Amino acid sequence: MEICLKFLRFSHSAHITYDFWHQALRHLAPSTMDKSLQLYSDARIPARPTNYICSLCIKSNMTWIPRQSTLKKNRKKLDLVHCDLSGPFPVPSYGSSLYYVTLINDATRVTWVRFMKQQSETTKIIKDFVSEMELQNHKTPAAFRMDNGGEYVTKDLKGFCESKEIIHGFSSPYSPE
């Protein structure tokens, strides 16, 4: 700071506006510039104008407020469950599983993970999950959203969802959740 202010003593006559020095000193706060002028009275910086406002300083002090979503989610627990299969993995788990399914409640973001040895166990895992939710929460999931993977497009799973009145929806390809 002292080096910058020593430089001010040798300022060029073309640089005589307060705005120039405010910008040259990296938008130093006006109160700090006033104190500096008191310490270095031989600096050739004009006094601050009474109505001086720096628009860049005002913009930089503003905070960004995220835009509110236009879609309102009035979902309740188990209204929508996202489902995704991962695997096979090159090294099996301690239980010899090569795959796992994640089930994510859209409203609460609670996540369940179920491990499987074969991809063909997906339908059984979903049926067991629905039974578990019925026992624990006394509620059947209203809808499942899954990718278009072959493990979800089976007659058995489609028939199960129809019998339980569960909406069996699919997400767009290459889109998370």
User: pLDDT (tens digit, 9 = 90+) per residue, 25-77?
Assistant: 888 888 888 887 777 777 777 888 888 888 888 877 777 676 666 555 667 88
- Out of 3-7, 21-25, 49-53, 134-138, the most confident range is 134-138
Residue 111 makes CB contacts below 8 A (sequence gap 6+) with 102, 103, 104, 105
Portions of the chain given CATH number 3.30.420.10:
81-170
Instruction: Flag whether the pTM goes above 0.85.
Output: no
Report whether pLDDT(159) > 60. Answer: yes
Name which CATH class applies to 81-170. Answer: alpha beta
Phi, psi of 111 (to 5 degrees): -120, 135
